[in-house]
Amino acid sequence: MTDTSTPTNRIKLAAIDLDGTLLGSDHAISAGNRAAVRRAAGAGAIIVLASGRQFDTIDAFAAHLGLSPDAPIIAYNGAMIRTHGGETWFHQPLPADASSVIVRYCAAHSLHLNLYLDDTLYVRDDTACGRLYQKRTGTVPSVTGDLARFDGQQPTKLLLIDTKEITDRLLKYFQAEFENTLTITKTEDEYLEFMAPNVSKGLALAETAQRLGLLPGQCAAFGDSYNDISMLEWAGLGVAMENARPELKAVAGRIAPSADADGVGAVLDELFPVHPEHE
């Protein structure tokens, strides 16, 4: 549970979501946020990028920020933890049978589905929904035809993309269909994501902190959407962006300026001040 009284001088780790948090509405890291992350890392902070995106796209941001090879990255909404240097700490893919059910449902109803396997994004065909995702993330998919060709394999994540109305309806449908045997969440109005059971950013952050010998009170988490709730609840200091969903603001210990106003950078500079001798 977020502790609003956590002394900021105890924070040693900052787990930071990408889209809508560290990235502005242009889906890029501003010069201000980049400089603040580098200052925090230089002051000894452990920076953990935590996103629903696949590992290699997050890793590109880690390189842009100049993070060290041992910096942990939480990918696929917590289904994978891997360092910037490529060491895998945790990976929990979807069960093959559940994946097959979702793939066949989407094919039967002409729904766009992203399938992530071995850090490669596969799609059935080129669609407007797929192009929306590519525009937002820069990820180029492999158009492979019928995704049933991957039957028997365990993708790390599945992502259904459609209108808000359809993803809202299908969220309820699939939650009833799988009866809590999968983690199913919305991350954007158009995104409905499927992960293995008991996968979340919060659990991944807990695993990361344990490996590093840190307690919740020594961790801060920054986010803006539904998939960040578990992470903000677990961390000693939960920071929601001004542009965050109301549900996230409700569990946050602090509200930062918006992503477009370099809110992450402003809070990092407070948590990890650079002393004159380190400038």
Q: What is the pLDDT of residues 89-141, one digit of tens each?
A: 999 999 999 999 999 999 999 999 999 999 999 999 999 999 999 999 989 99
List of E strands, 88-236: 88-91, 112-117, 120-123, 142-143, 157-161, 183-188, 191-195, 219-223
Q: What is the pLDDT of residue 3?
A: 47
Rounded Cα–Cα distance for residues 193 and 220 (Å): 25
Q: What is the pLDDT of residue 1?
A: 42
Q: What is the pLDDT of residues 179-234, one digit of tens each?
A: 889 999 998 999 999 999 999 999 999 999 999 999 999 999 999 999 999 999 99
- State mean pLDDT over 29-45: 97
- What fold characterizes domain 8-91+200-278? Rossmann fold (3.40.50)
Structure tokens that stand for 83 in this block: 């360092």
Q: What is the pLDDT of residue 275?
A: 65
Rounded Cα–Cα distance for residues 30 and 241 (Å): 15
What are the φ and ψ backbone dihedral angles of 216, each rounded to 5 degrees? Answer: -55, -40
> Does residue 116 or residue 8 have the better pLDDT?
116
**Please, is 81 exposed, middle or buried when counting C-beta atoms within 10 Å of its C-beta (0-12, 13-18, 19+)?**
buried
**Among candidate residues 143, 137, 106, the one with its CA nearest the CA of residue 122:** 143
Kind and range of the H or E run holding 16:
strand 13-16
List of E strands, 102-188: 112-117, 120-123, 142-143, 157-161, 183-188
Task: Give the residue extent of every domain in the chain.
Answer: 8-91+200-278, 96-195
Q: What is the pLDDT of residues 132-160, one digit of tens each?
A: 999 999 899 999 999 999 999 999 999 99
Domain spanning 96-195, CATH class:
alpha beta
